[in-house]
Chains A and B, each alone.
Chain A
């Protein structure tokens, strides 16, 4: 990032001209993507920002309501429940997925037999259709017929009436966390695998010659080399966790796709307000909270990353 700072001894004019040309070249790189991005994403998002201060049903004229939407949030039981659930879920999912996907990538980066097969297998839960994989999970943890409860009953002698209902109450978040780790492990594994390829092999060879053991090689070569990837993975992981929606609906929504207070998540509430109640302003206010939350976490990660980068 620090590459090519303009030379201070240069003439001011020439410097400006060169800086201008440099900017122009850079913008020409960004333009093709940025134009599409700005028109199709940035503009509607900016509008969504404004929506948080408006009352709008999508058709009738907009009405400015100031901070009313945000004031209503504080008293909203469902909002608070969904905020709490989302945070708990993210705290549980992010570290677990990070560690397991890195582990998986390290294993599958070694030269083992059937590597391509195992990699595909690891990626499988992510590409398989959600309907299919959630139905497997619900059967697995089925309260009266599922194999998990059967083990609890026959092996651990848990009485029948005490067998857990995995998809209700406080257990449902645990279910969501486990499922997400399982589903997304392979996805982030792919990122880590790609990241691992950018670490020059010579570094490992040099490390081995210097007598570094496996742990030292991991700690002093792999981890620093993976830093940009780790940043990417942790940011994407955090964002995606906070945006959990369809998994919750498919896994905990049952046949009516309704989430109860114990499983409601922010995006579900956003969706409900937007498309069932058509309170677009209010749903945008909920999204603002989500947005600020995610941004705060991302900024912390950003700070952490640049601190390490300067080490």
Chain B
């Protein structure tokens, strides 16, 4: 008897869980959680709209607040309420939140392409094409990046921030070694030779010619700059020369070994700030970090205050200025009840006005114009030399990870074997063979 009741009870609650999971209405009547800074009125009258926006690291990232402030001036009837999901597990929390259509978010920030792919495949984002058409937005102004995240002819995000990789270098180290600075037009051979020349392996006062962060992008993706390859190819043998170059540098003490960097969890910013790294390949977001950390006194100007940037090195016969890119975008959720208003906000942030706000806070908007570049180059603390300013010119931008249905899995496989190759657990050839084999299985 009691057992039957128990079973019955179980079934009912299971059904409830299923319902919550799959039904389009599930949980739509959940009470509204109040979100700072401005809790209170939600849609009291027709023209007053509240949009809920998911983002990360509100306190330490100046542009979120600036964007909200500025938008309030443009559209006083729209209140933007943000929710800070933190950056460490942002895409995981967001994807969980958007599961099962009970979410309250109207606008969500897209941190990376694998996360974007997840949300698109889960059908949680609204295709923006019809809105874009109606608003007459010219997508070519984004320099072709939107094509790399278009899914079956549909676009689900508009980028508002776009970072590209450059070489940061420490001028003092080059001066002390009597070696000329890197230039905006270097082949990989020249780059390698330069790194070796500036290196000093004296025990106790090592100077590293180059530094590579543990991300696979920092090593593997030198290979995609010729425009002929991408990580969606299922043959990764084009990684090989770059793995060889970097591993040889690490063996010869030109760069810190991967195991050391990885076990210490050494952050690239700390590595550069220590003043014994001559060149660091990193994304343009590091410009803002460097400027503000030096200004606050977190970094010692004696060690790294005299820095500059140059364009990424390039393969023989390829135009300089090709580099890797990462975009941050905004999307409208499929469950939003204010889709038009939400899109208006997305449009504004990714448009010229949002771009100006981004540039003012030292960040690179996706909508890159000459004006934006001169704003950044004239920021206090930005290197004064012409080369550094020129380095901001990008000729070709290849996304670190372009869109593909199973890009998260490809990403994970490449990460795993990258780690094994770099730490010497597996040879370069075997590692690449394993990448090819595992990625082929996905198809």
Residues of A at under 8 Å CB distance from B? Answer: 38-39, 42-44, 46-47, 50, 56-62, 77-78, 135, 138-139, 141-145, 165-169, 254-256, 258-262, 264, 272, 275-278
Contact = CB atoms under 8 A, between A and B. Distances in A.
A256 B264 contact: no
A117 B18 CA distance: 51
B415 interface: yes
A261 B416 contact: yes
B214 A254 contact: yes
A178 to B, nearest CB: 15
Given A60-B122, A138-B265, A255-B265, A143 B259 contact: yes
A258 B215 CA distance: 10
A143 B261 CA distance: 10
Interface string B1-25: 0000000011001101110011000
Given A60-B122, A166-B263, A275-B92, 19 more contacts: A38-B9, A44-B17, A46-B14, A59-B98, A59-B100, A59-B101, A60-B123, A138-B265, A142-B264, A167-B259, A256-B415, A260-B419, A260-B423, A260-B425, A264-B416, A275-B96, A276-B114, A276-B408, A277-B409
B415 A262 contact: no
Among B98, B101, B118, B417, max chain A CB count under 10 A is at B118
A43 B14 contact: yes
20 contacts: A47-B18, A57-B122, A143-B257, A143-B260, A166-B263, A168-B259, A168-B423, A169-B423, A254-B263, A254-B265, A255-B214, A255-B265, A256-B214, A258-B415, A260-B416, A260-B417, A260-B423, A261-B416, A262-B420, A276-B118
B259 A258 contact: no
Interface string B418-436: 0110011100000000000
Contacts of A272: 412
Contacts of A58: 21, 95-96, 99-100, 122
B425 A169 contact: yes
Interface string B95-131: 1101111000000000000100010011110000000
A296 B2 CA distance: 28
Contacts of B415: 256, 258
A135 B263 CA distance: 9
A164 to B, nearest CB: 10
Contacts of B135: none
Contacts of A139: 264
Contacts, number: 125
A261 B10 contact: no
A137 B261 CA distance: 15
Contacts of B100: 58-59
Counting from the closest, the 9 A-B pairs by CB-CB distance are: A254-B262, A58-B99, A59-B122, A43-B13, A168-B423, A255-B265, A275-B92, A258-B415, A138-B263
A226 B443 CA distance: 55
B14 A258 contact: no
B351 to A, nearest CB: 30
A60 B24 CA distance: 10
A248 B362 CA distance: 37
Interface of B is mostly: helix
Contact of A278 (B13, B17, B118, B267): B118
B419 A277 contact: no
Contact of A39 (B13, B122, B424, B438): B13
B49 to A, nearest CB: 25
A135 B265 contact: yes
Interface of B: 9-10, 13-14, 16-18, 21-22, 92, 95-96, 98-101, 114, 118, 121-124, 213-215, 257, 259-267, 406, 408-409, 412, 415-417, 419-420, 423-425, 438
A168 B425 contact: yes
Given A47-B18, A61-B22, A167-B263, A261 B420 contact: yes
A72 B50 CA distance: 46
A254 to B, nearest CB: 3
B249 to A, nearest CB: 16
Contacts of A258: 412, 415-416, 419
B260 A46 contact: no
Contacts of A260: 416-417, 419-420, 423, 425
A258 B265 CA distance: 12
Nearest to B258: A254
Contacts of B99: 58-59
A255 B412 contact: no
A65 B257 CA distance: 46
A44 B213 CA distance: 40
A47 to B, nearest CB: 5
A58 B103 CA distance: 13
Contacts of A167: 259, 262-263
A56 B122 CA distance: 9
A254 B264 CA distance: 7
A148 B124 CA distance: 51
Contact of B10 (A46, A61, A142): A46
Contacts of B416: 78, 258-261, 264
A275 B121 CA distance: 13
Contacts of A259: 416
Nearest to B437: A77
B123 A59 contact: yes
B121 A138 contact: no
Contacts of B257: 143-144
